[in-house]
């Protein structure tokens, strides 16, 4: 079986297994985020090379959701990203356009893969802040690109991988993460100040829960408040929460933290008011795939949009 036929066969199998995405076509496009858990092509410090089995599961997950644009976290250097792109192309997913941002952390990076061209690139590798009288840099930087979907529609994608919940000797990890979130919000405010109706997607691994100061900071308030798409598993859940003060009890977790043996939602796709008008809520979800943890300790989430300003 040749590579192209194999790719189509694997995609069909994934769709049958996961329930689809049935409505994807030229009239919609998909944007996803996925932390790959140390996608390295060679060992770096205590981080091992990504295994072939883990890489295969990551590709299976991406084939299942078929994103047109995907933000990635914990990617190794350019060689690792190239290897992933070439392997995906052989299996039917061709991302001709890409961005990789190298911040203070030289081992893992944020990246963007896209089927659509970039109209502009605004990487933020060197953002810094003062905390306790010391200056710190954002560990992984921020990737910002303007994506041209077609001749009539474009949007800005801003992705991050905020400080992990692992303690570090230099400062309190929660305070570091909050300062990084404040800088991310500054970039959001800059875009919305220039154009309040801007089509903006902010997504990635925030490493914190919805009610935290970190997520509240990124969401913002007032006219510039972002909308949380809150993807959930497509498992049949459709009832409201018995307590109307809270969101429905849908399965929304995106990350397994082995140290605590906990599952939590720490990955997000957030939308500006302008972008929210193009959002297709019914086609936005967290992928539920058997043996998902072979690939990463995170699950990918995807949101769907119509390329039309409203």
DSSP-derived secondary structure for 252-310: ---EEETTTTEEE--EEEEE-HHHHTTEEEEEEEE---TTGGGT-SB--EEEEE-S---
Indicate the pTM of the whole model: 0.91
Residue 201 in domain? yes
Are 170 and 245 a contacting pair, CB within 8 Å? no
Give the 3-state DSSP-derived string for 97-158, with helices as H, strands as E and coil as C: EEEEECCCCCCCEEEEEECCCEEEECCECCCEEEECCEEEECCCCEEEEEEECCCCCEEEEE
Report the alpha-carbon distance of residue 163 to residue 205 in Å, rounded. 9
pLDDT of residue 161: 98
164 falls within a domain: yes
**pLDDT, position 26:** 65
Which tokens go with 292? 């998902």
Asked if residue 133 is part of any domain, the answer here is: yes
Give me the pLDDT at residue 45, please: 81
* Residue 42 placed within a domain: yes
Return d(Cα 77, Cα 98) in angstroms, integer.
13
pLDDT at 309: 85
Contact 99, 123 (CB under 8 A): yes
Distances (CA, A) of 299 to 90, 116, 187, 219, 239: 23, 24, 26, 22, 23
81 occurs within a structural domain: yes
> What is the total count of domains within the chain?
1
Q: Which helix (H) or strand (E) holds 32?
A: strand 29-39
Cα separations in angstroms, 212 against 29, 47, 83, 89, 265: 30, 29, 36, 38, 12
The three-class DSSP label of residue 229 is coil
- Domain span at 151: 3-305
Residue 310 lies in a domain: no
Give me the CATH number covering residue 252: 3.60.10.10
Amino acid 76: pLDDT? 95
Is residue 12, in this structure, part of any structural domain at all? yes
pLDDT mean by block of 10 residues, the chain; 310 residues:
44 40 66 98 89 98 98 97 98 98 94 98 98 96 98 97 94 98 98 97 98 98 97 97 96 96 98 98 97 98 94
Quote the CA–CA distance of 40 and 141 in Å, as a whole number.
18
46 assigned to some structural domain = yes
């Amino acid at each position: 079986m040749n590579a192209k036929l194999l790719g189509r066969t694997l995609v069909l199998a994934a769709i049958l297994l996961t329930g689809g995405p049935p409505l994807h076509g030229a009239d919609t496009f998909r944007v996803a985020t996925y932390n790959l858990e140390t996608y390295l092509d060679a060992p770096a410090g205590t981080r091992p090379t990504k295994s072939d089995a883990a890489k295969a599961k990551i590709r299976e997950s991406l084939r299942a959701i078929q994103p047109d644009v995907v933000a990635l976290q914990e990617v190794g250097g350019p060689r690792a990203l190239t290897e992933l792109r070439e392997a995906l192309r052989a299996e039917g997913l061709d991302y001709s356009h890409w961005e990789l941002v190298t911040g203070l952390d030289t081992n893992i990076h944020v990246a963007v893969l896209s089927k659509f061209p970039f109209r502009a690139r605004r990487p933020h590798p060197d953002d810094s802040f003062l905390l306790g009288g010391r200056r710190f840099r954002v560990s992984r930087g921020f990737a910002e690109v303007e994506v041209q979907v077609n001749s009539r529609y474009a949007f800005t994608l801003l992705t991050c991988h905020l400080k992990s919940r692992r303690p570090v000797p230099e400062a309190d990890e929660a305070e570091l993460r909050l300062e990084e979130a404040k800088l991310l919000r500054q970039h959001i405010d800059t875009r919305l100040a220039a154009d309040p109706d801007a089509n903006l997607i902010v997504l990635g691994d925030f490493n914190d829960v919805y009610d935290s100061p970190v997520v509240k900071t990124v969401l913002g308030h007032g006219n510039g408040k972002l909308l949380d798409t809150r993807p959930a598993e497509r498992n049949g859940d459709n009832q409201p929460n018995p307590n109307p003060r809270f969101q429905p009890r849908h399965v929304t977790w995106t990350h397994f933290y082995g140290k605590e043996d906990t599952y939590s939602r720490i990955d997000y796709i957030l939308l500006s008011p302008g972008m929210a008008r193009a959002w297709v809520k019914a086609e936005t979800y967290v992928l539920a795939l058997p043996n998902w943890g072979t690939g990463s300790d995170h699950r990918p989430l995807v949101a769907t949009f119509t390329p039309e300003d409203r």
